[in-house]
């Protein structure tokens, strides 16, 4: 609860900060300090120090998992600010408002991580989505950005409609919005409930960009300003996953046998479409968009099996995936365009960054001794426990092998190609930060308990 | 002991960190000293560990919990026992020699590249040690994947050449295909037994829980992993291409250590394999086919490293053949001797290439024995060892394989013997063409010819001595009472199958037969190739050269048919068969990618239409077909 | 006077829902598409209110939900108009098929 209110207040503060603060660096400083404060507030909250006492009528519930996830997303946003906040200046003049929107998104993330009522879920998703439509279209002069924003809005509104219909049917058959097993058990036989659940499944699949509801992702990720793509593809996506898993694990387990197979097929499709399409992409940004679809395939596995493995695995996955993807994007942002040629001979000009990027790519590809490998391992192990899905595991492992191909293409041009022209200029602190992130990836790949011990 | 193991493992990693991070600051001397020193530390501690194993047997040490969820845990545990200690010694020992050799071989490189090279090499040793020391499949897999990665980096070391890049990627992708099998096997084991520890899986209680189907599937999947790493049919074509890397790398990774990881895997799981006769038969077939196919291809190659590469593939085939027969000890024995003599041959070829100023084509060499005395003699010893002439080490290990083949069936024996004869033939063809006759290169090359410096020849001499004497550990009972120390040593790990005891007279006969035939083949090779001329010689020169009718006869009958066979194997089986399939898969993925992306038409209406159609599909399945 | 049965209302809302959905993938004009979206949302609203009134009249949570939906729909509409205007400035057109810069 602390973090929710703090982020909301901070959002409003950031909105008006440009009136008081004239320099961009001051605004940036305020955002970073504010975020740190949010983090502390959340940690205090989880250890029992509540700043506010508000009766939320059982519409939200903060458990250890929710607190932990909120901390992770605040931490990732913090890293995002450190890595790329400066790049936001290049997009447009409304520097402080971008921060405000990001804080509002965080607000939504906290809602979807802790809801127990479908109303809060709906509000959370919308609070995340609406600022994202704006951020996607924030590069007003850029045609691609406009177009991406439009597509995102149209498809997003469509999925919201589906979701609302699902909620309506759920309400019609159960008479309640609360996300509990008991509510569902009382009405298992109702076909309306099943339709409602399936509609919710579709709309949530849309939010996590799972095939065949992934169509928005490549275009939106490609068109949005790269800075915001990196935020969208990581932290926001992770939040959508948490909402998805929370919804289905809390409420819909009694009807598991009706939707489990569909989820398995969706996972297989997602892995297939994401990995295979990524192979041919020439633009790194678009390739990363497809790769993020492919990665959601793995993350969705947590939905197939609800056990300790999936709980720990999804958190590890989110951290590994978010850090790696943000790291790659933070370098991509600084480049002239996002074609693969830009990376030619990168290792020669920026050896430190090239090594860090290699670690990120290895982690995404799931090579051992990186967090990416372990998180994939956890997911597959979780599915293993739920039984009957050996075919999915084999397929997933195959697709992971395909992914090596396109991730290694970047490594290859970085190390094995000669560069022809100029390269990016980065500050020393950026190099240190990126190396630190690479080290985090490796440390988590060797000793995951470092992170997971907090989740007891 | 627990700490010692950690030191063995960490020392190369420290070397990697130092060289990797400070490669721009350190001088080449310090880089080389650091890299070699770390491996030496590992080697010395390995010796200590080995002596403890000799006295007190193996042990498992747990360091911390790698993965711990509920009751399921995968500890970061290292297992040291008879089998892994042998590999430990090979990796650190041969690894150290090759590091020393590299320090001189690579000295022309710029300081930064020199550092890069040694840091990769150290990292490789680290992962290789992890592979053999891991006490469960997950740790082993980490090493398994890591060595593949290092091999990729080192093959592409000279990254300016695009062809080399292609070779590197091919190696990695092919290894990954194999790794898939490995990974699926791990998950299968987890599904059935909920553990990955060797000690638990190989216990009787666990084995009782596995059905025959499980065991067959798991062993087959693991074998798929082994075919990728150890270059067996159909995943072997990366190894000859991998010769794009620097020669010491070929010696270390693609001859002595990494490629034998598959053998280690199967030997480690010998308990499982002994229970899976179907898998064993498949391994025998694939091993034999690989051994003979690669040997025939080697007959016609002209690139000195390619010949050695195919020879490695062929020798690995022998090892797998032995594994399939259940002669695990023989396979491990051959791994040991092969590590010595093949590393020797590769380093020798490196010395030759060094002297020739980078030339690898043996047709442009010749008569090198006069200028490169040490290289020549050590290479000669290597050839004798690989051909299997007593008392060189290769004789004993090959003999162990031959004997176990004969015990199974004489037909198998003769096929393997054919492989062994081919081995002797192409190796001595290589030796004679390279070192005998007259020099066929350019003038500048001739002036450039020189023996390599002592830093390079010393490892050659040590390896030559080892190739000569390493057979001692496995002298069969027949020749030396109380011999066969290796089986005795490995008996806690590898169940010794005593059912096929051959009589002593048969064994003598087999040894005699193979030795005589091999010597015969060498003589043939000597006659054919001692005065090798490039085929361009025509007219009178050719006439004089071919004054012996014997030559003609040989050419007409044996050589021509062998050449044809080699050509068939090379062109049809390898190029259009295996390579085509492997490349075909890649092309298929590409094609699929091109087609699939058309779905992303850019039009919102289409997107929504597809989504709605999918939803309708799901609903119809749910409500019409399920009811 | 007979009360209208629930099924009639549900048929109406479902029809609206599908009309909206149909509009989404047949219409090219962005404003029309926006209206289709509103149709979908309103069909949901009807559903909520009807369920609340007929099935669970003792509580008002369905109606409250509708209030939230209306508020958010308003926000979305405002945003959508802004996006469309922006696009019109760059494209001089409000046909969605013209906005296919990114594909494949």
Q: Where are the domains of chain A?
A: 2-455
| Closest Cβ–Cβ partner in B141, B608, B623 for A368 | B141
Task: Return the half-sphere exposure (C-beta side, CA atoms, 13 A cut-off) of residue C22.
Answer: 6
Query: Is some CB atom of chain C closer than 8 A to the CB atom of B597?
Result: yes
Handedness of CA B479, B480, B482, B484 (dihedral sign): negative
Q: Which residues on B lie below 8 Å from C19 (Cβ)? A: none
Using only the alpha carbons of chain A, give its radius of gyration.
Answer: 21
pLDDT of residue B574: 65
- Residues of chain B with pLDDT > 90: what percent? 29
Q: Residues of A427-441 as b/e, b for ≥16 C-beta within 10 angstroms?
A: eeebeebbbebbebb
d(CA B517, CA B520): 5
Using only the alpha carbons of chain C, give its radius of gyration.
Answer: 17
- Residues of chain A with pLDDT > 70: what percent? 99
Query: Is some CB atom of chain B closer than 8 A to the CB atom of C96?
Result: yes
Q: Which of A209, A277, A420 to mutate to test the interface with B (most CBs of B within 10 A)?
A: A277
Alpha-helical (H) ranges within A208-255 are 216-223, 226-231, 237-251
Q: Which of B593, B601, B607, B608 to mutate to test the interface with C (most CBs of C within 10 A)?
A: B608
Query: Closest residue of B to C33, CA-based?
Result: B605
Q: Which residues on C lie below 8 Å from A126 (Cβ)? A: 72, 75-76
pLDDT of residue B206: 86
pLDDT of residue B535: 52
d(CA B256, CA B322): 18
pLDDT band at residue A246 under the 50/70/90 scheme:
very high
d(CA A148, CA A125): 19
Residues 121-140 of B with CB under 8 A from A: 138
Contact B103, B31 (CB under 8 A): no
DSSP secondary structure string, B153-194?
Answer: HHHTSSTT-HHHHHHHHHHHHHHHHHHHHHHHHHHHHHHHHS
User: Distance of alpha carbon B140 from its chain centroid, rounded?
Assistant: 17
pLDDT of residue B578: 65
Query: Is some CB atom of chain B closer than 8 A to the CB atom of C102?
Result: yes
Query: Is some CB atom of chain C closer than 8 A to the CB atom of B615?
Result: no
B228-253 residue pLDDT tens: 899 888 788 888 888 888 899 989 88
Query: Is some CB atom of chain A closer than 8 A to the CB atom of C65?
Result: yes
Q: Do C100 and B603 touch (CB under 8 A)?
A: yes
Query: Is some CB atom of chain B closer than 8 A to the CB atom of C26?
Result: yes
Smallest Cα distance from B166 to chain C, Å: 27
Query: Is some CB atom of chain B closer than 8 A to the CB atom of C24?
Result: yes
Query: Is some CB atom of chain A closer than 8 A to the CB atom of C1?
Result: no
Q: Which of C10, C21, C25, C51 to mutate to test the interface with A (most CBs of A within 10 A)?
A: C51
Smallest Cα distance from C8 to chain A, Å: 15
pLDDT band at residue B572 under the 50/70/90 scheme:
low
Q: Which residues on C lie below 8 Å from A165 (Cβ)? A: 17, 40, 43-44, 47
A318-335 residue pLDDT tens: 999 999 999 999 999 988
Q: Which residues on A lie below 8 Å from B608 (Cβ)? A: 154-155, 158
- Residues of chain A with pLDDT > 90: what percent? 59
Looking at the predicted structure, is the pLDDT value of residue B556 above 80?
no
Average predicted confidence (pLDDT) for chain A: 90
Q: Which whole number is the average pLDDT over B470-487? A: 76
Please, which residues have CB within 8 angstroms of residue C37's CB and are 6 or more apart in sequence? A154, A157, A158, A161, C20, C24, C76, C80
Q: Do A168 and C48 touch (CB under 8 A)?
A: yes
Query: Is some CB atom of chain B closer than 8 A to the CB atom of C14?
Result: no
Which of A422-436, B577-591, C43-57 is predicted with the least confidence, judged by mean pLDDT?
Answer: B577-591
Most confident of B111-120, C57-66, C90-99: C57-66
Q: Which whole number is the average pLDDT over A330-355? A: 86
Q: Which residues on C lie below 8 Å from A218 (Cβ)? A: 102
- Residues of chain B with pLDDT > 70: what percent? 90
Residues 477-496 of B with CB under 8 A from C: none
Looking at the predicted structure, is the pLDDT value of residue B136 above 50?
yes
Q: Do A404 and B176 touch (CB under 8 A)?
A: yes
List the subunits that have 3+ CB pairs under 8 angstroms with C.
A, B
CB pairs under 8 A between A and B: 130
Task: Enter the pTM of the model.
Answer: 0.88
Angle between helices B373-387 and B328-355 in degrees, nearest 10: 160
Looking at the predicted structure, is the pLDDT value of residue B546 above 70?
no
Query: Closest residue of A to B63, CA-based?
Result: A447
| Closest Cβ–Cβ partner in C24, C51, C99 for A168 | C51
Q: Which residues on B lie below 8 Å from C14 (Cβ)? A: none
pLDDT of residue B548: 41
pLDDT of residue B534: 57
Average predicted confidence (pLDDT) for chain B: 84
Looking at the predicted structure, is the pLDDT value of residue B536 above 50?
no
Query: Is some CB atom of chain B closer than 8 A to the CB atom of A16?
Result: no
pLDDT of residue B344: 93
Query: Is some CB atom of chain B closer than 8 A to the CB atom of A415?
Result: yes
Angle at C92 between CA C86 and CA C95, to 5 degrees: 85
* Interface predicted TM-score (ipTM) of this complex, two decimals: 0.94
User: Distance of alpha carbon B547 from its chain centroid, rounded?
Assistant: 42
Looking at the predicted structure, is the pLDDT value of residue B547 above 50?
no
pLDDT band at residue B569 under the 50/70/90 scheme:
low
Q: Do B191 and A384 touch (CB under 8 A)?
A: yes
Q: Which residues on C lie below 8 Å from A176 (Cβ)? A: 61
User: Distance of alpha carbon A8 from its chain centroid, rounded?
Assistant: 20
pLDDT of residue B627: 56
More confident residue, C2 or C45: C45
3-state secondary structure of A115: strand
Contact B294, B313 (CB under 8 A): yes
B267-290 residue pLDDT tens: 999 989 988 999 999 999 999 999
Query: Is some CB atom of chain B closer than 8 A to the CB atom of A161?
Result: no
Q: Which of A265, A366, A381, A444 to mutate to test the interface with B (most CBs of B within 10 A)?
A: A381
Please, which residues have CB within 8 angstroms of residue B62's CB and are 6 or more apart in sequence? B75, B76, B77, B135
Contact B189, B196 (CB under 8 A): yes
Query: Is some CB atom of chain B closer than 8 A to the CB atom of C9?
Result: no
B56-101 residue pLDDT tens: 888 888 888 888 877 788 888 999 988 999 999 999 999 999 999 9
Smallest Cα distance from A63 to chain C, Å: 25
Q: Do B67 and A278 touch (CB under 8 A)?
A: no
Q: Which residues of A touch C (CB under 8 A)?
A: 119, 122-123, 126, 130, 133-134, 137, 140-141, 143-144, 146-151, 153-154, 157-158, 160-161, 164-165, 167-169, 171-172, 175-177, 218-219, 222-223
Looking at the predicted structure, is the pLDDT value of residue A244 above 50?
yes
Q: Do B190 and A447 touch (CB under 8 A)?
A: no
Looking at the predicted structure, is the pLDDT value of residue B539 above 70?
no
pLDDT band at residue B604 under the 50/70/90 scheme:
confident
Q: Do B600 and C103 touch (CB under 8 A)?
A: yes
Please, which residues have CB within 8 angstroms of residue A415's CB and are 6 or more apart in sequence? A347, A354, A358, B156, B159
pLDDT band at residue A422 under the 50/70/90 scheme:
low
CA-to-CA separations, B535 to B35, B531, B542, B568, C17, in angstroms, rounded: 45, 12, 9, 20, 83
Beta bridge partners of B68: B73
Task: Spell out the domains of chain C, with CATH numbers in brackets.
Answer: 6-100 (1.10.287.3510)
């Amino acid at each position: 609860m602390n973090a929710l209110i703090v982020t909301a207040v901070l959002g409003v503060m950031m909105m008006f900060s440009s009136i008081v603060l004239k320099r961009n660096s001051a605004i940036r400083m305020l955002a970073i300090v504010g975020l740190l404060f949010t983090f502390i507030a959340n940690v205090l909250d989880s250890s029992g120090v509540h700043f506010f006492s508000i009766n939320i009528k059982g519409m939200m519930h903060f458990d250890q998992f929710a607190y932990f996830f909120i901390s992770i997303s605040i931490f990732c946003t913090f890293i995002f600010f450190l890595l790329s906040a400066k790049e936001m200046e290049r997009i447009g003049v409304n520097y402080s408002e971008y921060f405000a929107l990001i804080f509002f998104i965080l607000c939504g993330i906290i809602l979807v991580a802790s809801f127990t009522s479908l109303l809060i879920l709906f509000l959370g998703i919308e609070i995340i989505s609406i600022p994202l439509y704006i951020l996607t279209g924030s590069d007003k002069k850029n045609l691609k950005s406009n177009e991406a924003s439009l597509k995102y809005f149209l498809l997003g509104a469509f999925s919201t409609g589906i979701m609302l219909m699902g909620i309506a049917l759920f309400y019609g058959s159960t008479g309640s919005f609360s996300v509990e097993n008991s509510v569902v058990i009382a009405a298992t036989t109702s076909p309306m409930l099943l339709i409602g659940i399936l509609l919710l499944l579709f709309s949530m699949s849309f939010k996590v960009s799972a095939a065949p509801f992934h169509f928005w992702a490549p275009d939106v990720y490609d068109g949005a300003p790269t800075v915001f793509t990196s935020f969208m593809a990581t932290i926001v996506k992770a939040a959508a996953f948490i909402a998805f898993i929370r919804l289905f694990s809390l409420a819909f387990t009694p009807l598991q046998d009706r939707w489990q197979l569909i989820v398995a097929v969706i996972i297989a499709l997602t892995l297939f479409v994401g990995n295979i399409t990524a192979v041919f992409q020439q633009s790194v940004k678009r390739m990363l968009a497809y790769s993020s679809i492919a990665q959601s395939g793995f993350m969705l596995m947590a939905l197939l099996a609800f056990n300790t493995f999936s709980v720990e695995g999804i958190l590890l996955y989110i951290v590994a995936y978010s850090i790696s993807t943000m790291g790659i994007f933070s370098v991509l942002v600084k480049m002239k365009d996002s074609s693969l040629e830009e990376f030619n001979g990168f290792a020669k000009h920026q050896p430190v960054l090239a090594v860090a990027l290699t670690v990120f790519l290895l982690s995404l590809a799931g090579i051992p001794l990186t967090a990416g490998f372990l998180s994939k391992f956890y997911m597959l192990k979780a599915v293993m426990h739920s039984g009957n899905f050996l075919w999915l595991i084999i397929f997933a492992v195959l697709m992971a092998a395909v992914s090596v191909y396109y991730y290694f293409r970047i490594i290859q041009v970085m190390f094995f190609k000669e560069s022809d022209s100029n390269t990016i200029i980065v500050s020393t602190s950026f190099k240190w930060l990126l190396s630190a992130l690479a080290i985090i990836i490796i440390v988590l790949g060797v000793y995951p308990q470092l992170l997971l011990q907090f989740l007891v | 002991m627990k700490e010692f193991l950690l030191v063995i493992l960490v020392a190369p990693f420290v070397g990697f960190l130092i060289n990797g991070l400070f490669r721009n600051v350190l001088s080449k001397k310090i880089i080389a000293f650091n890299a070699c020193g770390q491996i030496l530390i590992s080697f010395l501690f390995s010796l200590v560990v080995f002596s403890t194993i000799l006295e007190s047997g193996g042990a498992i040490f747990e360091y911390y919990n790698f993965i711990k969820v509920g009751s399921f845990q995968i500890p970061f545990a290292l297992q040291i026992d008879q089998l892994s200690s042998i590999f430990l010694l090979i990796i650190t020992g041969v690894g150290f020699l090759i590091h020393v050799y590299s320090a001189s071989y690579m000295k022309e490189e710029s300081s930064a590249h020199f550092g890069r090279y040694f840091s990769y090499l150290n990292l490789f040793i680290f992962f290789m040690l992890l592979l053999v020391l891991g006490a469960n499949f997950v740790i082993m897999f980490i090493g398994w994947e890591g060595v593949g990665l290092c091999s990729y980096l080192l093959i592409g070391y000279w990254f300016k050449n695009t062809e080399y890049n292609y070779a590197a990627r091919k190696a990695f992708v092919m290894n990954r295909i194999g790794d898939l099998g490995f990974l699926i096997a791990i998950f299968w084991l987890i599904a059935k037994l909920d553990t990955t520890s060797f000690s638990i899986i190989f216990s009787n209680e666990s084995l009782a829980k596995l059905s025959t189907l499980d065991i067959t599937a798991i062993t087959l999947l693991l074998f798929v992993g082994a075919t990728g790493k150890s270059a067996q049919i159909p995943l072997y074509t990366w190894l000859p291409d991998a010769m794009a890397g620097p020669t010491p790398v070929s010696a270390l990774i693609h001859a002595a250590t990494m490629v034998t990881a598959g053998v280690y895997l199967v030997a480690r799981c010998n308990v499982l394999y002994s229970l899976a006769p179907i898998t064993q038969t498949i391994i025998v077939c694939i091993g034999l086919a690989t051994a003979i196919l690669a040997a025939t291809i080697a007959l016609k190659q002209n690139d000195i490293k390619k010949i050695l590469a195919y020879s490695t593939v062929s020798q690995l085939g022998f090892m797998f053949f032995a594994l399939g027969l259940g002669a695990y000890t023989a396979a491990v024995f051959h791994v040991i001797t092969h590590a010595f003599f093949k590393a020797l041959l590769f380093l020798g070829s490196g010395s030759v290439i060094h002297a020739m100023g980078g030339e690898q084509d043996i047709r442009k060499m010749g008569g090198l024995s006069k200028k490169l005395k040490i290289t020549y003699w050590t290479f000669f010893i290597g050839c004798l060892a690989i051909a299997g002439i007593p008392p060189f080490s290769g004789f004993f290990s090959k003999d162990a394989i031959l004997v176990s083949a004969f015990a199974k069936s004489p037909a198998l024996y003769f096929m393997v013997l054919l492989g062994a004869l081919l081995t002797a033939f192409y190796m001595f063809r290589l030796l004679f063409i390279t070192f005998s006759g007259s020099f066929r290169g350019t003038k500048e090359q001739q002036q450039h010819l020189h023996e390599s410096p002592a830093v390079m020849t010393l490892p050659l001499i040590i390896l030559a001595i080892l190739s000569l004497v390493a057979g001692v550990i496995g002298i069969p009972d027949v020749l030396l009472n109380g011999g066969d120390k290796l089986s005795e040593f490995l008996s806690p790990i590898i169940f010794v199958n005593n059912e096929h005891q051959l009589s002593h007279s048969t064994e003598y006969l087999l040894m005699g037969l193979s030795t005589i035939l091999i010597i015969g083949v060498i003589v043939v090779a000597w006659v054919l190739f001692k005065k090798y001329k490039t085929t361009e010689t025509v007219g009178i020169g050719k006439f004089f050269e071919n004054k012996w009718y014997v030559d003609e006869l040989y050419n007409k009958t044996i050589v021509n048919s062998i050449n044809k066979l080699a050509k068939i194997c090379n062109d049809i089986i390898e190029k259009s068969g295996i390579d085509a399939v492997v490349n075909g898969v890649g092309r298929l993925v590409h094609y699929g990618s091109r087609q699939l992306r058309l779905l992303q038409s850019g039009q919102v209406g289409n997107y929504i239409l597809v989504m709605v159609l999918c939803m309708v599909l799901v609903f119809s399945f749910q409500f019409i077909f399920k009811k | 006077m007979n009360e209208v049965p629930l099924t009639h209302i549900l048929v109406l809302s479902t029809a609206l829902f599908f009309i909206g959905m149909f509009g989404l993938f047949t219409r090219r004009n962005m404003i029309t598409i926006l209206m289709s979206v509103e149709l979908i949302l309103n069909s949901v609203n009807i559903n909520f209110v009807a369920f609340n009134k007929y099935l669970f009249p003792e509580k008002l949570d369905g109606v409250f939900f509708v209030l939230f939906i209306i508020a958010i729909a308003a926000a979305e509409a405002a945003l959508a108009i802004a996006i469309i205007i922006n696009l019109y400035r760059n494209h001089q057109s409000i046909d969605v098929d013209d906005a296919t810069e990114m594909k494949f």
